[in-house]
Amino acid sequence: MIIESAVMDTMCIKHLLKGLPLSNLRNVWFQPDGVPPHKVSSVQQYIRDAFQQQVIGYGGCVVWPPGSPDLNSLDIFLWGCIKRRVYATPPQTLQELRNHITDARASVSPAISYNVQREVQSRV
């Protein structure tokens, strides 16, 4: 599983990781998107502590340019699809934004998720 920072902020990541069994954490990678907050030393330290050697891109052990189109179907397609749904009706509060994101992600069909995964695999 690759967690893209464009989809989740650091606090959401902390909450997500807390609920995962240790065996699953071995398969989680973090891919920061290069936005300025991810370059702050305290955030960099948190990311290194949480993901250790499983960071792709800025500050990680696997060098990867942010927004790289060759393998990043999540950024190119899926996030755009989710973003359109999230902002179809602009959220008025942070909780409403969270709800919109959760609802938009839940509305992505298994077929779309499979196609995105297949696209990434074909590019690899």
**Domain regions of the chain by residue span:** 1-65, 72-123
Q: What is the pLDDT of residue 8?
A: 47
The label of the residue with tokens 């989710």 reads 82
Instruction: Report the interhelical angle of 41-51 vs 10-18 (nearest 10°).
Output: 20
Taking 50 as the threshold, does the pLDDT of residue 2 lie above it?
A: no
| Cβ–Cβ under 8 Å, residues 32 and 38 | yes
pTM of the model: 0.43
- The more confidently predicted of residues 7 and 114 is 114
Q: What is the pLDDT of residue 14?
A: 62
Q: What is the pLDDT of residue 7?
A: 43
Q: With bands split at pLDDT 50, 70 and 90, how would you rate the model's confidence at 124? A: low
Neighbours of 51 (CB within 10 A): 21
Taking 70 as the threshold, does the pLDDT of residue 19 lie above it?
A: no
Taking 60 as the threshold, does the pLDDT of residue 1 lie above it?
A: no
Taking 70 as the threshold, does the pLDDT of residue 3 lie above it?
A: no
Burial class (CB in 10 A: 0-12, 13-18, 19+), 82: buried
Q: What is the pLDDT of residues 20-67, one digit of tens each?
A: 676 666 777 777 766 777 778 888 888 778 778 888 777 677 777 655
- The more confidently predicted of residues 77 and 15 is 77
